[in-house]
Amino acid sequence: MDIEFNTNEDKNKQLLTFLHARLQKIAEGGGAKNAAKQKEKGKMLARERVSYLIDKDSEFLEIGAFAADGMYKEQGGCPAAGVVCGIGYVSGRQCMIIANDATVKAGAWFPMTAKKNLRAQEIAMENRLPVIYLVDSAGVYLPMQDEIFPDKEHFGRMFRNNAMMSAEGIVQISAIMGSCVAGGAYLPIMSDEAMIVDKTGSVFLAGSYLVKSAIGEDIDNETLGGATTHCEISGVTDYKHPDDQHCLDSIRQLMSMLGAPEQAGFSRIESAEPKADPKEIYGILPENREKQYDMHELIYRLVDDSALEEYKKDYGKSIICGLARIDGWAVGIVANQRKVVKSKKGEMQFGGVIYSDSADKAARFIMNCNQKKIPLVFLQDVTGFMVGSRSEQGGIIKDGAKMVNAVANSVVPKFTIVIGNSYGAGNYAMCGKAYDPRLIYAWPTARIAVMGGSQAAKTLLQIQAASLKARGETITPEKEAEMLKEISDRYDNQTTPEYAAARLWVDGIIDPLETRKVISMGIEAANQAPVKRAFNVGIIQT
């Protein structure tokens, strides 16, 4: 191994150390003091509930662990947006689990809590996954109600989705394991079945304080909406359990009786490990996002037997397209080549840039995968489309539009891994969040923005300097350098994977060695939702 490999390996492992430390901190939720309060009530913590519920030694793919990270500082923060979400296995059945974390502001809903819950429901709806809600929430965080209550993608959308999933035959089971207040009371009751934990679970449209102020009735919360009331008098809940463990055991029992889902029929054979060592990814991937590397070397460490059936290998070489298998599943891979390549015409093409020929190739390959019913995997390290008179005259816009059209209209499941750069329209063409990937995860080396940091900072500096000069201010070289550093630091922070994951532009940040698991679990989920819509690209540029 050479010095550069070792340097890359050290830098990438440092990023992973930082990632694991952040995830460990996030997993602490509202902290030890708040956790102790929950324990005193005889309750399990949110992550303990999830761990107990899922099958022993099975995988759990967390969605949105970084949600709201670094946000809501004035409110004391909201780790993981106050809710634990992910795809897990319960009684052998893959499902979506959504568990409120009562250690974080009593499980109250912040704006990002709604966004994260809706993302979890979206994944469940796309893949027809059963949903298990472990409810323990004080409802909307009132100081921010205007940012969470009334709009289309706010709190109320959850219950609309409850109804839509029920109509679609997607199983939903709710457990009321703590507070369940106001509008939030509809979530468990709009599920197919609702159970409640005695003495700690309660559900009502208005709590005792609000009832007192509204109609003058003096009543305690347990009598108002506890397990006895709703299991024996109102009939609102279906099952009563003495504690969290019995409640979770009951969910496992119900899940064991579900009928088998209809299959989409995606091809899968016995899994094989890559022949090339996946751990070498750390040494291959440059810490400097502007350095070249051969994307083939990463692909060989992600796919079964390190085997790639490459499509149009010698044409449009700035994008690699090919068929492979990941954990036995057949996939079509679309990946940005990050080294400089030379076309047969003698044109040198920059790594990470999409040219007309590569866009044309990728569009046709994507159509082929739709024809063959093969899921698509996008490996992003893209700086954008090629610019300049030569590219414009060559029709880069229509070729780029063709690729975007094919991505947008694909009916097979799409999965996106942001390995490095994800800039500008390249993000769109390579199936960024706006193009409905079933799952989208980033490596710690990812950068997501409209353009690279240095270009953006210089452009923003010119705008800011022009504004100051228009007001009669003099810009000294020292002042300009200070402004550039301030702009660069702010912009660079906004391009980090942590910033993106906090806002759910990606579903999470993963160790590169987890990539095979993410894609495999994602296709397994997608295989429970048969493809019903015909593939049609409409009017396409030729």
The pLDDT tens digits for 452-472 are 766 666 777 778 877 877 888
- Tokens standing for residue 115: 């966004």
- Reply yes or no on whether the pLDDT at 425 is more than 70: yes
Place of tokens 């500096």: 461
> Sorting pLDDT into bands at 50, 70 and 90, what band is 226?
confident
pLDDT at 276: 98
- Reply yes or no on whether the pLDDT at 396 is more than 80: no
pLDDT at 386: 67
pLDDT at 402: 93
pLDDT at 457: 64
The pLDDT tens digits for 136-161 are 998 888 788 888 888 888 888 999 99
| Confidence (pTM) | 0.94
Q: Do domains 31-257 and 278-446+506-528 have the same CATH topology?
A: yes
All residues at 6 or more sequence positions from 340 whose CB lies less than 8 Å from its CB, including other chains: 292, 348, 349, 350, 351
What is the residue extent of each domain of the chain? Answer: 31-257, 278-446+506-528, 452-495
The larger pLDDT score, comparing residue 502 to residue 344, is at 502
> Sorting pLDDT into bands at 50, 70 and 90, what band is 53?
very high
| % of residues, the chain, pLDDT over 90 | 71
Mean pLDDT along residues 470-486: 79
- Tokens standing for residue 306: 């390190």
Mean pLDDT is lowest, of 129-138, 160-169, 268-277, 383-392, for 383-392
The larger pLDDT score, comparing residue 343 to residue 330, is at 330
Q: What is the DSSP letter of 254?
A: H
CATH 3.90.226.10 correct for 31-257: yes
pLDDT at 301: 98
How far apart are the C-alpha atoms of 271 and 254, rounded to whole Å?
31
Contact 304, 327 (CB under 8 A): yes
Inter-helix orientation angle 453-470/477-494, to 10°: 130
pLDDT at 388: 62
- Read off φ and ψ for residue 537, nearest 5 degrees: -90, -5
- Reply yes or no on whether the pLDDT at 123 is more than 90: yes
CA dihedral 140, 142, 145, 148 (to 10 degrees): -30
pLDDT at 249: 98
Mean pLDDT along residues 55-77: 96
- Reply yes or no on whether the pLDDT at 258 is more than 80: yes
pLDDT at 292: 94
> Sorting pLDDT into bands at 50, 70 and 90, what band is 531?
very high
Mean pLDDT is lowest, of 134-148, 185-199, 205-219, 312-326, for 205-219
- Reply yes or no on whether the pLDDT at 436 is more than 80: yes
How many CB atoms are closer than 10 A to CB 223? 11
> Sorting pLDDT into bands at 50, 70 and 90, what band is 414?
very high
- Reply yes or no on whether the pLDDT at 188 is more than 70: yes
Q: What is the DSSP letter of 438?
A: S
Element (H, E) at 261: none
How far apart are the C-alpha atoms of 381 and 125, rounded to whole Å?
29
- Reply yes or no on whether the pLDDT at 122 is more than 80: yes
> Sorting pLDDT into bands at 50, 70 and 90, what band is 218?
confident
Opening angle at CA 522, ends 540 and 123, nearest 5: 75
The pLDDT tens digits for 375-395 are 999 999 999 886 566 766 666
CATH class (in words) of the domain with range 278-446+506-528:
alpha beta
The beta strands (E) that lie in 170-284 are given as 172-181, 193-197, 202-204, 239-241
